[in-house]
A and B are shown apart, each in its own frame.
Chain A
Amino acid sequence: MPRNPDQRDLFSGALELMILHTVRLTPMHGYALAKHIKHASDELLQIEEGSLYPALQRLLRAGLLDSESGISAKGRPTRIYRLTDAGLRHLEQETSSFEKMFTGITRVLAASRTQEA
């Protein structure tokens, strides 16, 4: 699997958060999800299929996602993933805690940079 050395591992829970956020408005199937995250992040984030499908199964199991039979754009049978009510609650909770975390990290990084200067 080719891997861009500039890319890095995601925070734990980050992939799940992005999946939940992505299917919040439009339920979609696996391939579309992977493509969407890639585009939306301006290709900064590349989702490995090796992580995506296990993550989807974990979310299904936790009841945050639901899946239903659907037909892909090309008319082939596939599974469409959609957010459940529990998923929505979880997403809101997690988003706010992630935002807090990022704010915190950014401040710390900024502070140390000021000290260096």
Chain B
Amino acid sequence: MAFWKLFSRRRRYDDLSVSIQEHLAERADELTGEGMSRAEAEQQARREFGNVALVEQHSREAWQWPTVESILADIQFSIRQLLKAPGFTATAVLTLALGIAINATMFSMVSAFLMPHLPGRDPQRVVALSSVNPDGTFQADVYPVSVPNYLQWKKETRLFSAVAATREIGSGGLSTPGETPQAVSIAAVSPDSFDVFGSSPELGRAFNPQEDEAGHDHVLILSHGLWERHFGADPAIVGKTVRLNREDYLVVGVMPADFRLLGFVPDLWIPLTLTSADRAAAARKDRSLHVFARLQPGVTLEQVRARLNVLAQQAQHDDPAVEQGWGASVRSLGDFLVYNFGIGTALSVVMTVVAFVLLIACTNVAGLLLTRAVGRQRELAIRMSLGASRARVARQLLTEGVVLALLGGSVGLLLSWFGIKVLRAGMSFNEAISAVPLRLDHRVLTFVAVISAVSALLSSIAPALKASRATINTDLKNDTRSATSSRSHGRLRAVLVGGQIVLAMFLLAGTGHLIRGVYEFDHQDLGFAHDHLLTAGIALDHARYSGITQQKNFVRDLLFELQQIPGVKQVTIASTLPATWTDEVSIHVRGNDNARANEQQRAGDRVITPEYFNAIGVRMLRGRGFTDGDTANSPPVVVVNQQFVHKYLHDGDALGKQVNLDTAGAPEWRQIVGVAPDVKTYATIALVDPEAYEPYAQVQRPIGSFSLMLRTSVNSDSLSGSLRDTLKRLDPELPLIDVVSMDKVIAKQTAGNPLFCDLLATFALLALLLSAIGIYGLIAYSVTERTHEIGIRMALGASTADVSRMVLRQGFKIAAIGSAIGLLLALPLPRVFGAMFQGLTFRAPEVYPIVLLLTFLVVLVAVLGPAWRASRIDPTTALRIE
């Protein structure tokens, strides 16, 4: 429609009125001519014509974008109506805004973590190929891949246009002359790795094909973050040489900032070199590669899955000792990243909770609208009697809901902007999590639009239906104050409020269980004393520590020097820190051959020095720990944990048994000399794997990276300076990785839990608060409604106490029914959570009385006010109101 028409419409409408007025006048003239009186004639003319206003409206609609304009008019009208009732409007908008804001804020996490950013071209064609671990450990079906399997899969050119492998090497030292070396995380990737993702460097080039060969492999590509942080975004960095692990590397490229994979955030990439030993069949045991592939056009995941299964069968056939039971799996890149990151379950719980809170908020607004609808019955009846159809009136009320939701959505968006900031600050405890940007992206905006629309519908559908069913005659005749027509509104509201209590109760009970479960888990006994322990990581480079002797000499000197620091009680190294992660090896117990020949026996393998058990405050259950007497020349010994004894020795006598650990060193029989108590394998899941400890002195293979642990008599953080100084004296070019207390190491893994609990608790309390507001609104309104009735009761002899009791009873009846249903619904929750969160137990029957008490207290507070007001009603005034 042309714009001039919009402007010329006013004239059109005037013309229309002129025509109709003339029509009426002429008809009246005619009737007068037939002998009617002027007044009678005019009335008769109007009666014949019908509803002038309606005809005019229908005629005008010919000019309008039919619905759009009447909707605009509705919106204008709604805004005027809402402005007239600022208290109502503010309450409704704020309630909706809160509900929408927490949903949007949480959804920003969903958007960031469950719909992760995928870099490069056609990311949906990229898949992740993984091993499937028959042991069923944590995330067993996205287990890393061995080099021989990777090379085998790479040959499947019919399926994949490119296959690339990534090995996370961990930390290395990036040194600048005259400065403390900086620890950086390194990933070794096959040269075509960036091609698989369809990405290329923003500066310089990707790796060349021959750069995975020894002699050409001293090249590296920087991440955008490290380039900015460490090199001041030097645009001429490409072509310069940097020192990494005491060796010179040529910088060939810088990747763009948007090249990041959820959970994989190395600082720099070097080529993955595969030696002939890596390629040999013996290397099948070493599963450490993440494999990504780009599918050929038209190839489906199903086809890849089928082929991988065939290859896995073949591998089992070729090398049953290693491959027995192992499978292979494929996932799309997005699925893999989300699954591997493992945040989905917690997020889905939080999203469910916030959705319920929004539902409660909508119910509150619906209640408010219903109350208003009662007050507006006469207005609506008049509109209908003037020719407005029921649909028209219902639409008007829906429009009001939409306007409210739009306002709520806008305020909610503003609030969620702050919410996301707070959330981002709360997530800085873990690099992998804080590396993922949370923002109000287009998905969050779309989500807000959708939930605003849903809120509008939810909160106004009941009032709209109710109002459009109003009966014109009775409503017009009735006085607004009469109770008959509003009784059904009251009933509907009571159902709504009861429903809120059900939801709130359900949420409180569920959250109570979760918080209790997570608390117990967070405060579980990890099996060792983690206070007063200072830890640091060290990665020995090949340049200076090329052989076992150099490594051992360095460790010996380091332990000796650290022992001299005042405040240090014990010093030990361990291949990995307790309760974080260990290498896994195949083990074999002598004499167990006939046990289950086909079953692979695997255990964690931790290399430690003699002071380890003392340093972590653990006493042997049986036998002894390691001593300085356990040397390379003495008989090989091993210590195992209780779970090992349970699983592989059937809780029998372990001491003296011979065990073979299938490590990269020469396999040999070791004698069990001690049984150590169980230490939890991870701080984040309640799991204890069988574990074997090897004495560092007897290990005949290089141990390049390990952790230092210092048991201190003073605050462990206060010794980090001395630790750094000592290392600097021994080797100024070797970086220390993450000098932190053991408590912090654990907190870094579990810090998500308090955040998770805080969020849940906040939302559940918000739900209760909103329900309380709902019940308060209902009871307060019904007291106002029943002023007259209460006046009569009092005039007939009811005491103030009777009246208060009556009001309280009304409130508590709803609360009691709602709570009962809510509690019933919450009963199966512990089992549901148990299935969702592996390793957590939810047995907390005390949750039920606590939330019940809490709910009744809140309901009491909400109802006391109206009850008090009811008891203060003066019968004479109340009766005179009529």
A residues whose Cβ falls under 8 Å from a Cβ of B: 1-2, 29-31, 34, 48-50, 53-54, 56-58, 60-61, 67, 72-74, 76-79
Inter-chain CA distance A109–B756, complex, in Å, is 78
Inter-chain CA distance A34–B47, complex, in Å, is 16
Contact between chains at A72 and B59 (CB < 8 Å): no
**B 48-76 to A, binary, CB cutoff 8 A, 1 in contact else 0:** 11110011101111110000000000000
Closest chain A residue to B23 by CB distance? Answer: A31
Pairs across A and B, CB under 8 Å, 29 listed: A1-B50, A2-B48, A30-B20, A31-B22, A31-B26, A34-B23, A48-B50, A49-B23, A49-B48, A49-B55, A50-B55, A53-B19, A53-B55, A53-B56, A53-B58, A54-B61, A57-B12, A57-B16, A57-B59, A58-B62, A60-B62, A61-B63, A67-B15, A72-B26, A73-B26, A74-B26, A76-B22, A76-B25, A79-B15
Decide yes or no: A54 and B62 within 8 Å by CB, A49-B23, A79-B18 being known contacts.
yes
Contact between chains at A57 and B22 (CB < 8 Å): no
Contact between chains at B50 and A30 (CB < 8 Å): no
Q: How far is the CB of B54 from chain A (nearest CB, A)?
A: 7
Contact between chains at A79 and B19 (CB < 8 Å): yes
Closest chain A residue to B5 by CB distance? Answer: A61
Decide yes or no: A77 and B56 within 8 Å by CB, A49-B49, A54-B62, A57-B63 being known contacts.
no
Q: Find the residue from A61, A73, A78 having the highest chain B CB count within 10 A.
A: A78
Closest chain A residue to B26 by CB distance? Answer: A31
**B 245-273 to A, binary, CB cutoff 8 A, 1 in contact else 0:** 00000000000000000000000000000
Q: How far is the CB of A30 from chain B (nearest CB, A)?
A: 5
Decide yes or no: A61 and B23 within 8 Å by CB, A49-B50, A50-B55 being known contacts.
no
Contact between chains at B48 and A29 (CB < 8 Å): no
Residues from chain B with a CB closer than 8 A to the CB of A58 are: 62
Residues from chain A with a CB closer than 8 A to the CB of B27 are: 31
Closest chain B residue to A1 by CB distance? Answer: B50
Contact between chains at A1 and B48 (CB < 8 Å): yes
Contact between chains at B22 and A72 (CB < 8 Å): yes
B168: interface (CB < 8 Å) = no
Contact between chains at A30 and B22 (CB < 8 Å): yes
Q: How far is the CB of A52 from chain B (nearest CB, A)?
A: 9
B29: interface (CB < 8 Å) = yes
Q: Find the residue from A1, A72, A73, A79 having the highest chain B CB count within 10 A.
A: A79
Inter-chain CA distance A74–B21, complex, in Å, is 13
Inter-chain CA distance A97–B622, complex, in Å, is 106
Inter-chain CA distance A29–B26, complex, in Å, is 11
Residues from chain B with a CB closer than 8 A to the CB of A57 are: 12, 16, 59-60, 62-63
Residues from chain B with a CB closer than 8 A to the CB of A77 are: 18, 22
Decide yes or no: A50 and B54 within 8 Å by CB, A74-B26, A76-B22 being known contacts.
yes
Q: How far is the CB of A95 from chain B (nearest CB, A)?
A: 23
Chain B positions 1-46 with a Cβ under 8 Å from a chain A Cβ: 12, 15-16, 18-20, 22-23, 25-27, 29
Q: Which 10 interchain pairs have the tightest Cβ spacing?
A: A57-B62, A78-B22, A31-B23, A53-B59, A58-B62, A57-B59, A54-B58, A31-B26, A54-B59, A79-B19
Sample of 19 more A-B contacts, CB < 8 Å, known A30-B22, A31-B26: A1-B50, A29-B22, A30-B19, A30-B20, A31-B27, A49-B20, A49-B48, A49-B49, A49-B50, A50-B50, A53-B20, A57-B12, A57-B59, A58-B62, A73-B26, A74-B26, A76-B25, A79-B18, A79-B19
**B 822-847 to A, binary, CB cutoff 8 A, 1 in contact else 0:** 00000000000000000000000000
Inter-chain CA distance A1–B387, complex, in Å, is 14
Contact between chains at A74 and B25 (CB < 8 Å): yes
Residues from chain A with a CB closer than 8 A to the CB of B58 are: 50, 53-54
Q: How far is the CB of B47 from chain A (nearest CB, A)?
A: 8
Closest chain B residue to A81 by CB distance? Answer: B19
Closest chain B residue to A77 by CB distance? Answer: B18
Residues from chain B with a CB closer than 8 A to the CB of A53 are: 16, 19-20, 55-56, 58-59
Chain B positions 315-354 with a Cβ under 8 Å from a chain A Cβ: none
Closest chain B residue to A79 by CB distance? Answer: B19
Closest chain A residue to B47 by CB distance? Answer: A1
Inter-chain CA distance A76–B23, complex, in Å, is 10
Contact between chains at A78 and B54 (CB < 8 Å): no
Closest chain B residue to A73 by CB distance? Answer: B26
Residues from chain A with a CB closer than 8 A to the CB of B61 are: 54
Closest chain B residue to A33 by CB distance? Answer: B23
Residues from chain A with a CB closer than 8 A to the CB of B54 are: 50
Q: How far is the CB of A50 from chain B (nearest CB, A)?
A: 5
Inter-chain CA distance A61–B9, complex, in Å, is 11
Inter-chain CA distance A50–B50, complex, in Å, is 7
Decide yes or no: A61 and B22 within 8 Å by CB, A49-B49, A50-B50 being known contacts.
no
Inter-chain CA distance A58–B62, complex, in Å, is 5
Residues from chain A with a CB closer than 8 A to the CB of B48 are: 1-2, 49
Residues from chain B with a CB closer than 8 A to the CB of A30 are: 19-20, 22-23
Residues from chain B with a CB closer than 8 A to the CB of A29 are: 19, 22-23
Q: How far is the CB of A94 from chain B (nearest CB, A)?
A: 18
Q: How far is the CB of A37 from chain B (nearest CB, A)?
A: 14
Inter-chain CA distance A53–B62, complex, in Å, is 10
Inter-chain CA distance A19–B762, complex, in Å, is 69
Q: How far is the CB of B6 from chain A (nearest CB, A)?
A: 13
Closest chain B residue to A80 by CB distance? Answer: B19
Q: Find the residue from A30, A34, A56, A58 having the highest chain B CB count within 10 A.
A: A30
Closest chain A residue to B15 by CB distance? Answer: A79
Residues from chain A with a CB closer than 8 A to the CB of B49 are: 49
Residues from chain B with a CB closer than 8 A to the CB of A34 are: 23
Q: How far is the CB of B69 from chain A (nearest CB, A)?
A: 13
Closest chain A residue to B54 by CB distance? Answer: A50
Residues from chain A with a CB closer than 8 A to the CB of B62 are: 54, 57-58, 60-61
Contact between chains at A56 and B59 (CB < 8 Å): yes
Inter-chain CA distance A64–B671, complex, in Å, is 106
Inter-chain CA distance A71–B18, complex, in Å, is 11
Chain B positions 503-556 with a Cβ under 8 Å from a chain A Cβ: none
Residues from chain B with a CB closer than 8 A to the CB of A67 are: 15
Inter-chain CA distance A47–B847, complex, in Å, is 74
Q: How far is the CB of A38 from chain B (nearest CB, A)?
A: 12
Residues from chain A with a CB closer than 8 A to the CB of B22 are: 29-31, 72, 76-79
Chain B positions 816-873 with a Cβ under 8 Å from a chain A Cβ: none
